[in-house]
Structure 1
Amino acid sequence: MTSAHSSTCDTDAPHPPIGTPPAQHPLSHRLVLIMATATGLGVACLYYAQPLLGVLTAELGLSAQTVGYIPTLTQLGYALGIIFLAPLGDRHDRRVIILIKAILLTASLLAFGLSSHLSALLIASFAIGLTATLAQDIVPTAATLAHDTQRGRIVGTVMTGLLMGILLSRVFSGLFAEQFGWRSVFVLAAVSMALTGAVIWRTLPHVAPTTTLSYGALMRSLLALIREHSALRRAALAQGLLSVAFSAFWSTLAVMLHAEPFEMGSAVAGAFGLAGAAGALIAPIAGHLADRHGPQAVTRVGTAVTTVSFALMCAGVWLAPTPQLVVLAVATLGFDLGLQGTLIAHQTIVYGIAPEARARLNAILLGGMFIGMSLGSAIGSLLLDRFGWLGVTLLATAAAGSAFCLRMLPPPRSA
């Protein structure tokens, strides 16, 4: 083991002075894999409930609009956690923050799995979203520890873990719930997060604070960053629009498939995550392309692919059930490829703006993304209840198309 490797992975190494970025050494493949896995398991907690919404609708006697509050509050909690908690990563050791959130997330998952009333489920859903933001403490940590010439690739690899967690969580949840009941999903998820917290505590190096700002000043600096950097504003808005489309689809798919003419269970809804999971493989490739050729072209191609995929899905509404399922699977693969490639390119843009403020920059970008997801869940559930699947797919196409138009504008000067 080289000395460079040892210094990167030594959890007892002394902290560099505040405001000084850590020395950049090659990251071990083991540490990158651990960060990717922990990120995926953390963010997966946001999505375990989505394939189960049809089951919960029947079990609790809820409407499609009412059961949609569960993913809406989870996404809202995540968005608020990113905005109000993630910036603390610039002020405190992220290793400690991740451990605290892992403990609280474990408790929140257990609370959801043991709840019997809608009000308790909604409170637990919000708490899950708030504490699952540990994933967004790990991503900027990877960007900070990575060498400048490898940042896109390493962030892309960690994001592959995050994206696989988003997509495969639905597969696991749907299949496991069908065999053992929906509560078992959340008990097992709680166990996984307890183990994740322990592993991260033992392996992740200390990351020294880069600022001594008070919490109030730290939060005010978010507004300063937004005002100062047009590239940041554009990235957050475009990713937020794509997330409206993404969340409108995933938060309503299980309910749509549970109803006529499909009448399918949670396992089928979860299996659609397999189509989307293939899209997660684009993350390291997108990071590599962004490193070599710049991220602007990646965002344009990604938003275009996403828009076309949702438009195809919209056109498939008039097909018979079996052909429509085929179109859904193909379009799911397409929009996940486009959305994930765009996200990696946006992160490459944002992380290059101000290295000493990466946790705050990440909070702004991902805050916009998950505000979009929260809106997508709420509006998508409302549209499904009132206008059916056509309303959902029209919303997704319009939101993705707006992101494409935004990215086709000339690059802002700070991009």
Structure 2
Amino acid sequence: MKLISGGRRVAGNDESTTPRTTGTKEGTPSFALPRGVTLLFAIAGGTAVANVYFAQPLLVTLGRDFAISPATLGAVVTLTQLGYGLGLFFIVPLGDLVDRRRLIVMQLLLLAAALTVVGTATIAALLLAGMAAVGLLAVVTQTLVAFAASLAPPAQRGRVVGLVTSGVVTGILLARTVSGLLADLAGWRSVYLTSVALTCALALALHHVLPPRDTAAPSMNYGQLLRSTLTLFAQERLLRLRALLALLIFAAFSTLWSCVALPLSAPPLSLSHTAIGAFGLVGAAGALAATAAGRLNDRGLSQRTTGIGLALLVASWLPLTFARQSLWALAVGVIVLDLAVQAVHVTNQSLIYTLRPDAGSRLIGGYMVFYSLGSALGAIASTALYAVAGWGAVCALGAAISCLALLLWAGTRRRTPASAAAD
């Protein structure tokens, strides 16, 4: 099955998977995406972003193998997130300028090369450089989100973004499970070398399925493209507000996930890589929130969804405080936190894309820069704080960040543009 311009499908005649062309408010064609193609977007996005998180349950092992001190282990995650942030600003906006299919395939092939560097590294400097490159190229996930949003009819955009984000969420959370399991079975290097093969396979599948650009490229060069991303922040207040929320919620998210392997691997728990990674399965419930939040956004309930999500984020830190005493408490906290973060994240993306559909890649890329900054700050702060003050201090940090996000939303709700406050 291969989509082509005009909404036709090559090969086969199954009407259930035939994309239908529909009109949009902007007057440009849009595809009623076949569910199978939407699922491929989700799988590819989840697989790409998983590479950013593979290292989290492996931190203790990586620290031992490369002689990295516990206080600086967060640098492994932080460099990957900083690379991701650079890619969001310098690479993702290219989706508005060049053929997205070619951009996606090229990124995936380069990502496979970076993963090979990590999987074969013999010194810490090479490992860290490879991690940064993985982060830089894993932003193909956001190019896929913007591409899916551009192909979806406006009335279904929230659902499509929610489904693709569900795949991304699942990839983020299952990354820890898969990473821990493979590391226990065949060593940590097998995690990255297995991903090389899967990434190459996805590049081939997406090259076959995705439609090429069927509209004229904007009349601007690369420098103008990057400047226009900054201009969007100056022009769109909603983008600024939702980007700040992204920074805070993902700082809280990373505060948990970048640090939780440390207390779980230490006495008295002393859990294995597989057991630590298994908590990613618990957190995969966040994928359910992503799909539901997309549907609620399509119904005009974005503000209500945001408020409930942020309140749950604050509440999640209470059971997480008792993680060293009860794995059940940890499981409850993980479920609530991941549901909350993904509900707000999907709502954010669905809202900001509607501001300027013609600049979808720049909007998503600019927004996700704040996601990456928040994730990097949460990683470095939580691991450093754990080294000097323990798990209780980490949970206090996560709760404080979550409260700040809730206060930001509450303080700006009445001044949110009407189009984003239908409820």
Structure 2 distance, partners of 1:333, 1:209, is 44
Partners of 1:304 and 1:392 lie apart in 2 by 19
Which residue number in structure 2 is paired with residue 412 of structure 1?
Answer: 416
| 2: CA distance, partners of 1:100 / 1:242 | 31
Given that 1:22 and 1:144 are in contact with CA atoms closer than 8 Å, whether structure 2 keeps it comes out as: no
Percentage of pairs with the same residue:
36
Residues 222, 4 of structure 1: CA spacing in aligned structure 2 closer, same or farther, 3 A cutoff?
closer
Q: Equivalent residue of 1:25, what SS?
A: strand
The question of whether the paired residues in 2 share the 8 Å contact of 1:5 and 1:25 is answered with no
Contact 1:296–1:411 (CA<8 Å) still a contact in 2? Answer: no
Would you say the 8 A contact 2:319–2:332 is kept in 1? no
For residues 138 and 4 of structure 2, what CA distance do their matches in structure 1 show? 31
For 1:277, the equivalent position in structure 2 comes to 284
Match of residue 247 from structure 1: 254
Structure 2 residue aligned with 1:149, among 134, 147, 155?
155
Over the aligned positions, Cα root-mean-square deviation in angstroms equals: 1.9
In the TM superposition, what are the counterparts of 1:147-296 in structure 2 within 5 Å?
A: 147-207=153-213, 208=215, 210-296=217-303
CA distance in 2, matches of 1:209, 1:377: 41
Instruction: Give the 3-state SS of the residue equivalent to 2:98 in structure 1.
Output: coil
Contact in 1 for aligned 2:46/2:167 (Cα 8 Å): yes
Write out aligned runs for 1:314-325 (5 A).
Answer: 314=321, 316=322, 321-323=324-326, 325=327
Letter in 2 for 1:233: R
Match of 1:41 among 20, 23, 47: 47
| Distance of aligned partners of 1:385 and 1:230 in 2 relative to their CA distance in 1, 3 Å threshold | same
SS at the partner of 1:260?
Answer: coil
- Higher alpha-carbon deviation: 24-33 or 334-343: 24-33
**1:368 alignment partner in structure 2:** 370
Amino acid in the other structure paired with 2:34: S
Query: What are the residue-to-residue correspondences of 1:15-34 with 2, within 5 Å?
Result: 22-34=28-40
The equivalent of 2:108 in structure 1 is: 102
| Deviation for aligned residue 1:219 | 1.1
Matches for 1:395-406 after TM superposition, within 5 Å: 395-406=397-408
CA deviation vs aligned residue, 1:364-383 (integer Å, no higher than 9, x gap): 11111111001111111111
Task: Give distance in 1, aligned partners of 2:141 and 2:216.
Answer: 18
Q: Structure 1 residue 5: deviation in Å? A: 10
| Alpha-carbon distance in structure 2 between the residues aligned to 1:391 and 1:172 | 29
- Note if 1:310 corresponds to 2:312: no
Counterpart residue type for residue 282 of structure 2: A
Equivalent positions of 1:14-163 (< 5 A) are: 22-163=28-169
**Deviation by residue 1:160-212 (Cα, 9 ceiling, x = unmatched):** 11110000011000011101110011000111101111111110111345522
Alpha-carbon distance in structure 2 between the residues aligned to 1:403 and 1:251? 19
**Alpha carbons of structure 1 residues 57 and 4: separation in structure 2 relative to 1, 3 Å:** closer
Letter in 1 for 2:224: A
Offset at 1:6? Answer: 7.6
Kindly tell me: are residues 8 and 159 of structure 1, through their superposed partners in 2, closer, same or farther at Cα, counting changes over 3 Å?
farther
- 2:15 counterpart residue number: none
TM superposition shift of 1:102: 0.6
- Normalising by structure 1, we get a TM-score of 0.93
What is the DSSP-based 3-state SS (H/G/I as helix, E as strand, rest coil) of the residue aligned with 2:68? coil
Instruction: Indicate how the Cα distance of structure 1 residues 161 and 21 shifts in structure 2: closer, same or farther if over 3 A, else same.
Output: farther
Q: Where does residue 14 of structure 1 map in the other structure? A: none
**1:275 positional shift:** 1.0
Give the unaligned 5+ runs of structure 2: 12-25
* Shift, 1:249, TM fit: 1.1
Distance 1:21 1:43, change over 3 A: farther
1:7 aligned residue: 7
Q: Please give the alpha-carbon distance, in whole angstroms, between the structure 2 residues aligned to 1:296 and 1:210.
A: 34
Instruction: Report the Cα distance in structure 1 between the residues aligned to 2:9 and 2:59, rounded to whole angstroms.
Output: 41
TM-fit CA distance, 1:406: 1.1
* Aligned equivalent of 1:16: none
Q: 1:109 to 1:304 in 2, by over 3 A?
A: same
Pair 1:312–1:61, CA change in 2 (3 A): same
